[in-house]
Structure 1
Amino acid sequence: MHTDARRVEAGDNPASTSWPVELKGVSVTYPNGTKALQDVSLRIEPGEMVSIVGLSGSGKSTLIRTINGLVQATDGTVTVGPHEITGLSGRRLREARGHIGMIFQGFNLAERTDVFHNVLVGRFAHSSPFRTLLGLPTKADRELALRALDSVGMLEKVWARANALSGGQKQRVAIARALTQQPSIMLADEPVASLDPPTAHGVMRDLRRIN
Protein backbone atom coordinates (compact mmCIF):
# COMPACT_ATOMS: atom_id res chain seq x y z
CA MET A 1 0.00 0.00 0.00
CA HIS A 2 1.29 3.43 -0.89
CA THR A 3 0.71 6.80 0.65
CA ASP A 4 -0.38 9.38 -1.91
CA ALA A 5 1.21 12.82 -1.63
CA ARG A 6 -1.33 14.31 -4.04
CA ARG A 7 -4.20 14.28 -1.58
CA VAL A 8 -4.08 14.87 2.15
CA GLU A 9 -7.31 15.19 4.10
CA ALA A 10 -7.72 17.73 6.86
CA GLY A 11 -5.86 16.57 9.95
CA ASP A 12 -3.91 13.87 8.11
CA ASN A 13 -0.19 13.61 8.38
CA PRO A 14 1.47 14.95 5.19
CA ALA A 15 3.45 12.33 3.33
CA SER A 16 6.65 12.66 1.37
CA THR A 17 6.64 11.97 -2.37
CA SER A 18 5.17 8.55 -3.18
CA TRP A 19 7.55 5.96 -4.64
CA PRO A 20 7.01 3.09 -7.08
CA VAL A 21 7.96 -0.48 -6.18
CA GLU A 22 9.38 -2.91 -8.72
CA LEU A 23 10.43 -6.54 -8.38
CA LYS A 24 12.21 -8.25 -11.25
CA GLY A 25 12.66 -12.02 -11.19
CA VAL A 26 12.78 -12.14 -7.41
CA SER A 27 13.31 -15.48 -5.70
CA VAL A 28 13.90 -16.20 -2.02
CA THR A 29 15.29 -19.47 -0.72
CA TYR A 30 15.78 -19.77 3.03
CA PRO A 31 18.89 -21.44 4.52
CA ASN A 32 16.90 -24.62 5.24
CA GLY A 33 16.15 -24.96 1.53
CA THR A 34 12.56 -23.70 1.62
CA LYS A 35 11.76 -21.72 -1.53
CA ALA A 36 9.44 -18.91 -0.40
CA LEU A 37 9.33 -16.96 -3.67
CA GLN A 38 10.16 -18.01 -7.21
CA ASP A 39 10.73 -15.59 -10.12
CA VAL A 40 8.30 -12.89 -8.95
CA SER A 41 8.04 -9.78 -11.11
CA LEU A 42 5.64 -6.91 -10.45
CA ARG A 43 5.44 -3.13 -10.49
CA ILE A 44 3.30 -0.97 -8.20
CA GLU A 45 2.87 2.65 -9.20
CA PRO A 46 2.99 5.61 -6.77
CA GLY A 47 -0.39 6.08 -5.09
CA GLU A 48 -1.67 2.56 -5.83
CA MET A 49 -3.16 0.48 -3.03
CA VAL A 50 -2.50 -3.20 -3.72
CA SER A 51 -3.45 -6.34 -1.79
CA ILE A 52 -1.47 -9.58 -2.01
CA VAL A 53 -3.84 -12.52 -1.43
CA GLY A 54 -2.84 -16.15 -0.95
CA LEU A 55 -2.95 -19.21 1.26
CA SER A 56 -1.05 -19.39 4.52
CA GLY A 57 2.60 -20.13 3.79
CA SER A 58 2.38 -18.98 0.16
CA GLY A 59 5.02 -16.26 0.62
CA LYS A 60 2.98 -13.10 1.25
CA SER A 61 5.00 -11.96 4.26
CA THR A 62 8.26 -12.85 2.55
CA LEU A 63 7.27 -10.76 -0.46
CA ILE A 64 6.50 -7.74 1.70
CA ARG A 65 9.72 -8.13 3.68
CA THR A 66 11.85 -8.22 0.55
CA ILE A 67 10.55 -4.72 -0.22
CA ASN A 68 12.03 -3.22 2.95
CA GLY A 69 15.06 -5.50 3.06
CA LEU A 70 14.04 -7.49 6.14
CA VAL A 71 14.40 -10.54 3.88
CA GLN A 72 17.12 -10.53 1.23
CA ALA A 73 16.28 -11.82 -2.25
CA THR A 74 18.52 -14.68 -3.33
CA ASP A 75 17.89 -13.84 -7.01
CA GLY A 76 16.51 -10.83 -8.85
CA THR A 77 16.25 -7.16 -7.89
CA VAL A 78 13.93 -5.13 -5.66
CA THR A 79 13.74 -1.40 -6.39
CA VAL A 80 11.85 1.03 -4.16
CA GLY A 81 11.81 4.62 -5.40
CA PRO A 82 15.45 5.59 -6.07
CA HIS A 83 16.87 2.65 -4.09
CA GLU A 84 17.78 -0.82 -5.31
CA ILE A 85 17.09 -2.54 -2.00
CA THR A 86 18.88 -5.74 -3.01
CA GLY A 87 22.14 -3.79 -3.32
CA LEU A 88 21.98 -2.02 0.04
CA SER A 89 23.29 -2.87 3.49
CA GLY A 90 24.21 -1.16 6.73
CA ARG A 91 23.64 2.59 6.93
CA ARG A 92 22.36 2.91 3.36
CA LEU A 93 19.72 0.25 3.96
CA ARG A 94 18.66 1.92 7.23
CA GLU A 95 18.32 5.24 5.39
CA ALA A 96 16.10 3.66 2.72
CA ARG A 97 13.95 2.00 5.38
CA GLY A 98 13.42 5.43 6.92
CA HIS A 99 11.10 6.13 3.97
CA ILE A 100 9.27 2.77 4.09
CA GLY A 101 6.46 2.53 6.63
CA MET A 102 5.62 -0.90 8.04
CA ILE A 103 2.50 -2.07 9.87
CA PHE A 104 2.71 -5.51 11.49
CA GLN A 105 -0.07 -7.95 12.38
CA GLY A 106 1.20 -8.11 15.97
CA PHE A 107 1.26 -4.30 16.46
CA ASN A 108 4.85 -4.33 17.85
CA LEU A 109 4.16 -1.62 20.45
CA ALA A 110 6.03 -1.04 23.69
CA GLU A 111 3.20 -2.23 25.92
CA ARG A 112 4.20 -0.35 29.09
CA THR A 113 4.86 2.94 27.27
CA ASP A 114 2.26 5.59 26.51
CA VAL A 115 0.75 6.02 23.05
CA PHE A 116 2.58 9.29 22.37
CA HIS A 117 6.05 7.81 22.83
CA ASN A 118 5.12 4.68 20.85
CA VAL A 119 4.18 6.89 17.92
CA LEU A 120 7.35 8.97 18.21
CA VAL A 121 9.33 5.81 17.38
CA GLY A 122 8.38 6.57 13.77
CA ARG A 123 10.75 9.56 13.85
CA PHE A 124 13.83 7.64 15.00
CA ALA A 125 15.16 7.14 11.48
CA HIS A 126 14.97 10.89 10.87
CA SER A 127 16.30 12.09 14.23
CA SER A 128 19.85 12.61 15.43
CA PRO A 129 21.26 9.77 17.57
CA PHE A 130 21.70 12.30 20.40
CA ARG A 131 17.99 13.22 20.47
CA THR A 132 16.91 9.61 20.10
CA LEU A 133 19.16 8.43 22.94
CA LEU A 134 18.00 11.15 25.33
CA GLY A 135 14.34 11.01 24.27
CA LEU A 136 14.26 14.65 23.15
CA PRO A 137 11.93 14.94 20.14
CA THR A 138 11.83 18.21 18.26
CA LYS A 139 8.71 20.37 18.26
CA ALA A 140 8.10 19.34 14.64
CA ASP A 141 8.31 15.63 15.58
CA ARG A 142 5.84 16.12 18.44
CA GLU A 143 3.41 17.87 16.11
CA LEU A 144 3.75 15.10 13.52
CA ALA A 145 2.95 12.47 16.15
CA LEU A 146 -0.14 14.33 17.35
CA ARG A 147 -1.42 14.89 13.80
CA ALA A 148 -0.91 11.21 12.98
CA LEU A 149 -2.87 10.16 16.08
CA ASP A 150 -5.64 12.60 15.18
CA SER A 151 -5.82 11.17 11.65
CA VAL A 152 -6.68 7.69 13.02
CA GLY A 153 -8.99 8.91 15.78
CA MET A 154 -6.63 8.14 18.67
CA LEU A 155 -5.69 11.61 19.88
CA GLU A 156 -7.77 11.26 23.05
CA LYS A 157 -5.66 8.21 24.00
CA VAL A 158 -2.33 10.02 23.63
CA TRP A 159 -1.24 9.46 27.26
CA ALA A 160 -2.79 5.98 27.70
CA ARG A 161 -0.41 3.05 28.05
CA ALA A 162 -0.39 0.69 25.10
CA ASN A 163 -1.32 -2.30 27.26
CA ALA A 164 -4.59 -0.57 28.19
CA LEU A 165 -5.79 -0.43 24.56
CA SER A 166 -7.99 -2.81 22.60
CA GLY A 167 -6.61 -4.66 19.58
CA GLY A 168 -8.17 -2.21 17.14
CA GLN A 169 -6.80 0.76 19.07
CA LYS A 170 -3.32 -0.77 19.12
CA GLN A 171 -3.41 -1.23 15.36
CA ARG A 172 -4.45 2.40 14.88
CA VAL A 173 -1.51 3.47 17.06
CA ALA A 174 0.75 1.30 14.88
CA ILE A 175 -0.63 3.05 11.79
CA ALA A 176 -0.03 6.45 13.41
CA ARG A 177 3.56 5.40 14.22
CA ALA A 178 4.13 4.52 10.55
CA LEU A 179 2.55 7.80 9.41
CA THR A 180 4.82 9.79 11.73
CA GLN A 181 7.68 8.34 9.73
CA GLN A 182 6.30 10.30 6.71
CA PRO A 183 6.89 7.29 4.47
CA SER A 184 7.01 7.28 0.70
CA ILE A 185 5.38 3.82 0.71
CA MET A 186 3.44 1.95 3.37
CA LEU A 187 3.62 -1.83 3.81
CA ALA A 188 1.07 -3.74 5.89
CA ASP A 189 1.62 -7.41 6.78
CA GLU A 190 -1.83 -8.86 7.56
CA PRO A 191 -2.76 -5.73 9.54
CA VAL A 192 -6.27 -6.90 10.46
CA ALA A 193 -5.83 -10.68 10.80
CA SER A 194 -6.07 -10.58 14.61
CA LEU A 195 -9.05 -8.19 14.76
CA ASP A 196 -12.78 -8.86 14.87
CA PRO A 197 -14.64 -8.11 11.59
CA PRO A 198 -16.13 -4.68 12.49
CA THR A 199 -12.78 -3.44 13.84
CA ALA A 200 -10.95 -4.86 10.83
CA HIS A 201 -13.26 -2.97 8.46
CA GLY A 202 -12.65 0.22 10.43
CA VAL A 203 -8.87 -0.16 10.23
CA MET A 204 -9.02 -0.84 6.49
CA ARG A 205 -11.20 2.26 6.00
CA ASP A 206 -8.50 4.25 7.84
CA LEU A 207 -5.81 2.90 5.51
CA ARG A 208 -7.84 3.65 2.36
CA ARG A 209 -8.64 7.17 3.52
CA ILE A 210 -5.02 7.92 4.39
CA ASN A 211 -3.85 6.52 1.05
Structure 2
Amino acid sequence: MDTDVDRDAGATGLPAVVTAAHRRAESVGFGYSREPLTGRLLATLSAAVRPGGRVLELGTGAGVGLAWIEYGLGGRSDVQVISVEFDEALAAAVRRSGLPPGFDVRVGDAEKLLAGLGTFDLIFADAPAGKWTGLHLTIAALAAAGVLLVDDMDPGRYTEPDHRDTVDRIRRTLTEHHGLVTTELSVGSGLIVAVAR
Protein backbone atom coordinates (compact mmCIF):
# COMPACT_ATOMS: atom_id res chain seq x y z
CA MET A 1 0.00 0.00 0.00
CA ASP A 2 1.48 3.34 -1.09
CA THR A 3 0.50 6.30 1.11
CA ASP A 4 1.64 9.91 1.17
CA VAL A 5 3.75 9.08 4.24
CA ASP A 6 5.55 6.29 2.34
CA ARG A 7 6.32 8.08 -0.91
CA ASP A 8 9.81 9.39 -1.54
CA ALA A 9 10.01 12.93 -2.82
CA GLY A 10 11.72 12.59 -6.17
CA ALA A 11 15.41 13.42 -6.36
CA THR A 12 15.83 14.10 -2.63
CA GLY A 13 15.48 10.42 -1.78
CA LEU A 14 13.64 11.50 1.37
CA PRO A 15 10.08 10.64 2.35
CA ALA A 16 7.63 13.34 1.27
CA VAL A 17 6.69 14.17 4.87
CA VAL A 18 10.38 14.75 5.71
CA THR A 19 10.95 16.90 2.61
CA ALA A 20 7.95 19.04 3.63
CA ALA A 21 9.43 19.46 7.12
CA HIS A 22 12.79 20.52 5.65
CA ARG A 23 10.98 23.13 3.55
CA ARG A 24 9.23 24.39 6.67
CA ALA A 25 12.59 24.61 8.45
CA GLU A 26 13.93 26.76 5.62
CA SER A 27 10.86 28.99 5.61
CA VAL A 28 11.13 29.73 9.35
CA GLY A 29 14.92 30.06 9.28
CA PHE A 30 15.59 27.01 11.44
CA GLY A 31 19.03 25.64 10.57
CA TYR A 32 19.38 22.71 12.95
CA SER A 33 17.36 20.00 11.23
CA ARG A 34 18.40 16.37 11.53
CA GLU A 35 20.70 14.80 9.02
CA PRO A 36 19.19 11.91 7.04
CA LEU A 37 21.16 9.16 8.82
CA THR A 38 19.86 10.22 12.23
CA GLY A 39 16.38 10.60 10.79
CA ARG A 40 16.39 7.15 9.22
CA LEU A 41 17.53 5.60 12.50
CA LEU A 42 14.77 7.50 14.32
CA ALA A 43 12.24 6.21 11.78
CA THR A 44 13.52 2.65 12.21
CA LEU A 45 13.26 2.84 16.00
CA SER A 46 9.77 4.38 15.69
CA ALA A 47 8.64 1.48 13.52
CA ALA A 48 9.55 -0.91 16.35
CA VAL A 49 7.46 0.86 19.02
CA ARG A 50 5.00 -1.61 20.55
CA PRO A 51 1.25 -1.31 19.83
CA GLY A 52 -0.22 1.36 22.08
CA GLY A 53 3.27 2.69 22.84
CA ARG A 54 4.50 6.19 23.50
CA VAL A 55 7.23 8.30 21.84
CA LEU A 56 8.81 11.48 23.22
CA GLU A 57 10.90 13.98 21.29
CA LEU A 58 12.78 16.63 23.24
CA GLY A 59 13.24 19.57 20.88
CA THR A 60 10.63 19.85 18.11
CA GLY A 61 12.45 22.50 16.12
CA ALA A 62 10.75 22.79 12.73
CA GLY A 63 9.36 19.25 12.96
CA VAL A 64 11.91 17.28 10.94
CA GLY A 65 12.36 14.73 13.73
CA LEU A 66 8.59 14.42 14.06
CA ALA A 67 8.36 13.83 10.31
CA TRP A 68 10.84 10.94 10.58
CA ILE A 69 8.82 9.52 13.49
CA GLU A 70 5.65 9.83 11.41
CA TYR A 71 7.35 8.09 8.49
CA GLY A 72 8.55 5.28 10.76
CA LEU A 73 5.10 4.75 12.22
CA GLY A 74 3.72 4.42 8.70
CA GLY A 75 0.26 5.79 9.41
CA ARG A 76 -0.25 3.96 12.72
CA SER A 77 -2.59 5.83 15.05
CA ASP A 78 -2.16 3.60 18.11
CA VAL A 79 1.07 5.32 19.24
CA GLN A 80 1.04 8.55 21.25
CA VAL A 81 3.77 10.98 20.17
CA ILE A 82 4.66 13.99 22.31
CA SER A 83 7.21 16.57 21.24
CA VAL A 84 8.39 19.37 23.52
CA GLU A 85 9.63 22.69 22.11
CA PHE A 86 10.80 25.72 24.08
CA ASP A 87 10.18 28.19 21.23
CA GLU A 88 6.46 28.95 20.95
CA ALA A 89 6.73 30.24 17.36
CA LEU A 90 8.42 27.05 16.14
CA ALA A 91 5.84 24.90 17.92
CA ALA A 92 3.04 26.91 16.31
CA ALA A 93 4.56 26.51 12.83
CA VAL A 94 4.70 22.74 13.28
CA ARG A 95 1.12 22.61 14.58
CA ARG A 96 -0.10 24.70 11.61
CA SER A 97 1.45 22.19 9.22
CA GLY A 98 -1.01 19.58 10.46
CA LEU A 99 -0.15 16.75 12.83
CA PRO A 100 -1.19 13.13 12.46
CA PRO A 101 -3.62 11.63 14.99
CA GLY A 102 -1.92 10.97 18.31
CA PHE A 103 0.80 13.63 17.78
CA ASP A 104 1.03 16.54 20.23
CA VAL A 105 3.51 19.43 20.34
CA ARG A 106 3.85 21.03 23.77
CA VAL A 107 5.55 24.30 24.58
CA GLY A 108 7.87 24.61 27.55
CA ASP A 109 11.16 23.70 29.13
CA ALA A 110 11.56 19.94 28.62
CA GLU A 111 13.48 19.59 31.86
CA LYS A 112 10.57 21.09 33.80
CA LEU A 113 7.93 19.07 31.94
CA LEU A 114 9.61 15.65 31.96
CA ALA A 115 8.51 14.50 35.40
CA GLY A 116 4.83 14.96 34.53
CA LEU A 117 4.84 13.28 31.11
CA GLY A 118 4.99 9.63 32.18
CA THR A 119 7.13 6.93 30.59
CA PHE A 120 7.98 6.28 26.96
CA ASP A 121 9.00 3.40 24.73
CA LEU A 122 11.19 5.68 22.61
CA ILE A 123 12.77 9.02 23.52
CA PHE A 124 14.71 11.17 21.07
CA ALA A 125 16.77 13.68 23.08
CA ASP A 126 17.46 16.51 20.66
CA ALA A 127 17.47 19.58 22.91
CA PRO A 128 19.77 20.88 25.63
CA ALA A 129 17.07 20.35 28.29
CA GLY A 130 16.85 16.64 28.97
CA LYS A 131 20.26 15.98 27.45
CA TRP A 132 22.84 18.62 28.44
CA THR A 133 20.90 19.20 31.67
CA GLY A 134 18.39 16.91 33.34
CA LEU A 135 19.60 13.75 31.61
CA HIS A 136 18.63 11.78 34.73
CA LEU A 137 15.01 12.86 34.16
CA THR A 138 15.09 11.60 30.58
CA ILE A 139 16.51 8.26 31.68
CA ALA A 140 13.82 8.01 34.37
CA ALA A 141 11.15 8.56 31.69
CA LEU A 142 12.15 5.39 29.82
CA ALA A 143 9.66 2.53 30.09
CA ALA A 144 11.01 -0.97 30.64
CA ALA A 145 12.92 -1.88 27.45
CA GLY A 146 12.49 1.74 26.33
CA VAL A 147 14.97 3.12 23.80
CA LEU A 148 16.81 6.43 24.12
CA LEU A 149 18.40 8.01 21.04
CA VAL A 150 20.82 10.88 21.70
CA ASP A 151 22.48 12.80 18.87
CA ASP A 152 25.25 15.42 18.57
CA MET A 153 27.62 13.29 20.66
CA ASP A 154 30.72 13.71 18.49
CA PRO A 155 33.02 15.94 20.61
CA GLY A 156 34.82 17.01 17.44
CA ARG A 157 31.76 19.05 16.50
CA TYR A 158 32.43 21.45 19.36
CA THR A 159 35.13 24.12 19.63
CA GLU A 160 34.48 25.15 23.22
CA PRO A 161 36.23 22.95 25.84
CA ASP A 162 33.23 23.12 28.19
CA HIS A 163 30.95 21.82 25.40
CA ARG A 164 33.32 18.89 24.78
CA ASP A 165 33.37 18.24 28.54
CA THR A 166 29.56 18.23 28.60
CA VAL A 167 29.38 15.74 25.73
CA ASP A 168 31.90 13.52 27.52
CA ARG A 169 29.82 13.71 30.71
CA ILE A 170 26.66 12.72 28.81
CA ARG A 171 28.49 9.84 27.13
CA ARG A 172 29.86 8.56 30.46
CA THR A 173 26.47 8.87 32.16
CA LEU A 174 24.83 6.75 29.46
CA THR A 175 27.58 4.18 28.98
CA GLU A 176 28.19 3.66 32.71
CA HIS A 177 24.54 3.63 33.81
CA HIS A 178 23.71 0.25 35.41
CA GLY A 179 20.13 0.40 34.14
CA LEU A 180 21.03 0.90 30.48
CA VAL A 181 22.56 -1.15 27.69
CA THR A 182 24.31 1.38 25.47
CA THR A 183 25.92 1.53 22.03
CA GLU A 184 27.88 4.46 20.63
CA LEU A 185 27.71 5.00 16.88
CA SER A 186 30.53 7.08 15.37
CA VAL A 187 28.40 8.20 12.42
CA GLY A 188 26.71 11.44 11.51
CA SER A 189 26.73 13.85 14.44
CA GLY A 190 27.71 11.05 16.82
CA LEU A 191 24.86 8.93 18.13
CA ILE A 192 24.22 7.01 21.32
CA VAL A 193 21.47 4.42 21.55
CA ALA A 194 20.56 3.15 25.00
CA VAL A 195 17.94 0.62 26.08
CA ALA A 196 16.51 0.43 29.59
CA ARG A 197 17.04 -2.99 31.20
TM-score, length basis structure 2: 0.33
**Bigger radius of gyration:** 1
User: Which one has the bigger strand percentage?
Assistant: 2
TM-score normalised per structure 1: 0.31
1 or 2 for the larger relative contact order (CA 8 Å, sep ≥6)? 1
